[in-house]
Amino acid sequence: MTEMVRKPFSFNRVLIYTVLLTAAAVYLVPLVVMLLTSFKTLGDISSGNLMALPTHWTMHAWHKAWSTACTGVSCEGVHHFFWNSFKMAIPAVLISTGIGAFNGYVFSKWRFRGSDLIFSMMLFGCFIPFQVILLPMAATLGKMGLANTTAGLVVVHVTYGVAFTTLFFRNYYVGVPDALVKAARLDGAGFFTIFFRIMLPMSVPIFMVCIIWQFTQIWNDFLFGVVFASGDSQPITVGLNNLVNTGTGVKEYNVNMAAALIAALPTLVVYVLAGKYFIRGLTAGSVKG
Amino acid sequence: MSTQIGVLSVPAKRPASRVINLIQAWLPKLVLAPSLALVLVGVYGYMIWTAVLSFTNSSFMPSFRFVGFAQYARLIANDRWHTACINLVIFGVLFIGVCLALGIFLAIFLDQKIRQEGFIRTVYLYPMALSLIVTGTVWRWILNPGLGLEKLMHDWGWTSFHFDWLVRSHLSVYTLVIAAVWQSSGFVMALFLAGLRGIDPSIIKAARVDGARLPTIYLRIILPCMRPVFFSAIMILAHLSIKSFDLVKVMTAGGPGYSSDLPALFMYDMSFTRGQLGLGAASAIMMLGAILALLVPYLYSELRSKRHD
């Protein structure tokens, strides 16, 4: 940026790199601690410290967290919760993304009188504290027979996810020239033809952003999971919380850390593989919201 | 407007094609209808429903015996709610302040043409991909009074180091700040970095020609340019603090006692474990009020500035 900065060995350069790398190390500490602890025995935990390597590397805590650790009354580990989260997240992500794509298409290319107002009304849904809808939603799910089911959680996540997905697609499609759509209409193409033949093929990046964003949000959700699910349908975040807060006897921190890593793994993998899209979603979803 | 063009541009000779055109004109509205219904019921309807509940004496089951503002009076007189609100202010101010300071600091350092910038940015941001329940679990372990950070420092030779905030009732709320900052500061960094990239480099060049030093340029010229980024970052962080639930539930469960309680946890406990639906609804409406108090002025200024563009 400046001559001072471009000098290869200036004091400032060294300082800048030192600060940045130290900060990076600090951010990484919790992940390292999680990993190290999860491979330790309980003996190692009480004799060593957070950053000490295990004297005896073992997968015991991972096995226990996955299949035998107690999460409240049952002691079957977190594997049920883990699969529940997938059963909930996959349909919820696909449905909310699909609806969002169509909504965004209408709000950008088929605007009608009042559509901007409807868009603003939907946008407001991104901002409400969800505490304000919990009680009526619980009552409604109960009446519909969806209380404590995965289907019920999917309904909830779709309802409150659509505002975000619509926002993503609307902002993306606004950038597509109107002339393209007008020309297609003159050629006789209709609403769906234009969507599937023109808009969809150019939407791959925004689909990536939206799917990754929704998956991370829904996978990481705790509030809806703890309020609207019980037993068989609880997601992994609830399982982890139950495991950590089940207070019987010795605290097995190695098992807690293994369970935390299991809960974190899917979103971490997505982040490592497609972090670019995740960050785009993060900034698009929040700055423009 | 645009739909009319569509209808007019296709010649409508036969009745069949006129029907098709009519359907075409209605299609966009039909496509939106389910989402609009979801939002009208799920957001606006339920908000009103909760507001109605907050004026009733509902306990374990919703009842419709209206009691006016009695629940709000109970809420304001409630010690635990009082603690939760004070904690929210402490948590919110520290969380926003530290995140902003750290985020700006790291963004400026990262904006100095750094090699491996992408990698470093990825490291700063990965906590955002984690659930707050995971974050809470790991920080609860790191801050463990016996075996956590304290032991580490003792082993590394700092034997007088003492850290037991997690179990001290007037300090436990600060442990929430530590974990929340770790989770979100990288995100604030990304916002500011994007803002810095949007600034015209010729401004900096001109200032340097005039003899200004780099820190002065950042303080006096660049940061004032980033007012919109400040506003949106503060909005997002304040919003996160008010909704903050997961972290406190898993890290301290509001304890010791209810010393680290937050409004979202209070609402959950009253509504779903204590059977005080009316009180829970009243606290939810208070939270909504807090968010609206932030949001309305912000949206108003956003809309106005957009209109002026």
CA distance B63 to B55: 10
pLDDT of residue A76: 86
φ, ψ of residue A167 in degrees (nearest 5): -60, -45
Q: How many CA atoms lie within 13 A of A147 on its CB side?
A: 12
Chain centroid offset of residue B73 CA: 28
Residue A61: both structure tokens together: 């805590």
- A176 at B interface, C-beta within 8 A: no
CA distance B91 to A87: 35
| B66 SS3 class | strand
Pick the more confident residue, B203 or A166.
Answer: A166
User: Is residue A224's pLDDT more than 60?
Assistant: yes
| DSSP 8-state secondary structure symbol assigned to residue B8 | H
Residue A13: both structure tokens together: 């350069």
Q: Residues A149, A233: contact at Cβ < 8 Å?
A: yes
pLDDT tens digits for B222-242? 888 888 889 889 988 998 899
Residue A76: other Cβ atoms inside 10 A: 14
CA distance B33 to B44: 15
- A223 at B interface, C-beta within 8 A: yes
**Chain B nearest C-alpha distance from A61 (Å):** 15
Q: Can you give the residue ranges of every domain in chain A?
A: 3-58, 79-287
- Please answer yes or no on whether A111 and B140 come within 8 Å at the CB atom: no
pLDDT band at A274 (very low <50, low <70, confident <90, very high): confident
- Interface confidence, given as ipTM, is 0.90
Nearest partner of A267 among A257, A277, A252, A253, judged by Cα: A277
Q: Which of A30-44, A182-196, B115-129, B163-177 has the lowest mean pLDDT?
A: B163-177
Which residue reads 């750094």 in tokens?
A: B114
Size of interface A-B (CB pairs under 8 A): 269
pLDDT of residue B201: 82
pLDDT digit string (tens) for chain B, length 309 residues? 344 444 444 444 566 777 877 887 788 999 999 999 999 999 999 999 999 999 998 888 877 788 888 889 999 999 999 999 999 999 999 999 999 999 999 999 998 888 888 899 999 999 999 999 999 999 999 998 888 888 888 888 887 888 878 878 788 899 999 999 999 999 999 999 988 888 888 888 888 888 888 888 888 888 888 888 898 899 889 988 998 899 999 998 887 888 889 999 999 999 999 888 999 999 999 999 999 998 888 878 777 776 665
pLDDT of residue A278: 84
Structurally, at CATH architecture level, domain A79-287 sits in Orthogonal Bundle (1.10)
Mean pLDDT, residues A181-197: 90
- Please answer yes or no on whether B9 and A186 come within 8 Å at the CB atom: yes
pLDDT of residue B4: 43
Q: Find the closest chain A residue to B253 by CA distance.
A: A245
Q: Provide, as residue numbers in chain B, all residues whose Cβ is less than 8 Å from the Cβ of A46.
A: 147
Residue in B123, B147, B236 nearest the CB of A24: B123
Q: Provide, as residue numbers in chain A, all residues whose Cβ is less than 8 Å from the Cβ of B296.
A: none
User: What residue ranges define each of the domains in chain B, with the CATH number in brackets?
Assistant: 2-53 (no CATH), 70-308 (1.10.3720.10)
pLDDT of residue B255: 78
Residue B94: both structure tokens together: 């520290």
User: Is residue A249's pLDDT more than 70?
Assistant: no
pLDDT band at A232 (very low <50, low <70, confident <90, very high): confident
- Please answer yes or no on whether B36 and A128 come within 8 Å at the CB atom: no
Q: Find the closest chain B residue to A130 by CA distance.
A: B243
CA distance B128 to B52: 36
CA distance B258 to B246: 16
Residue in B42, B139, B272 nearest the CB of A133: B42
Q: Which of A132-136, A153-157, B68-72, B277-281 has the lowest mean pLDDT?
A: B68-72
pLDDT of residue A286: 55
pLDDT of residue A245: 86
- A3 at B interface, C-beta within 8 A: no
- Please answer yes or no on whether A16 and B268 come within 8 Å at the CB atom: no
Q: Provide, as residue numbers in chain A, all residues whose Cβ is less than 8 Å from the Cβ of B281.
A: 135
Q: Cα separations (Å) of A220 from A89, A105, A230, B203? A: 10, 28, 17, 42
Q: Name the percent of chain A lying above pLDDT 70.
A: 94
Residue of B14, B56, B131 best to disrupt the A interface, most CBs of A under 10 A: B131
DSSP class per residue in B162-177: ---GGG-TTTHHHHHH
User: Is residue A74's pLDDT more than 90?
Assistant: no
Residue in A46, A270, A282 nearest the CB of B147: A46
- Please answer yes or no on whether B137 and A30 come within 8 Å at the CB atom: no
Q: Name the percent of chain A lying above pLDDT 90.
A: 59
- A211 at B interface, C-beta within 8 A: no
pLDDT of residue A124: 85
pLDDT tens digits for B228-281? 889 889 988 998 899 889 999 999 888 788 888 999 999 999 999 988 899 999
Q: Provide, as residue numbers in chain A, all residues whose Cβ is less than 8 Å from the Cβ of B31.
A: 102-103, 105-106, 191
Q: Residues B47, A131: contact at Cβ < 8 Å?
A: no
Residue in A133, A219, A263 nearest the CB of B47: A133
pLDDT of residue B14: 60
pLDDT band at A248 (very low <50, low <70, confident <90, very high): low
- Measured N-to-C along each axis, helices B2-9 and A178-186 cross at an angle, to the nearest 10 degrees, of 20
| B69 SS3 class | coil
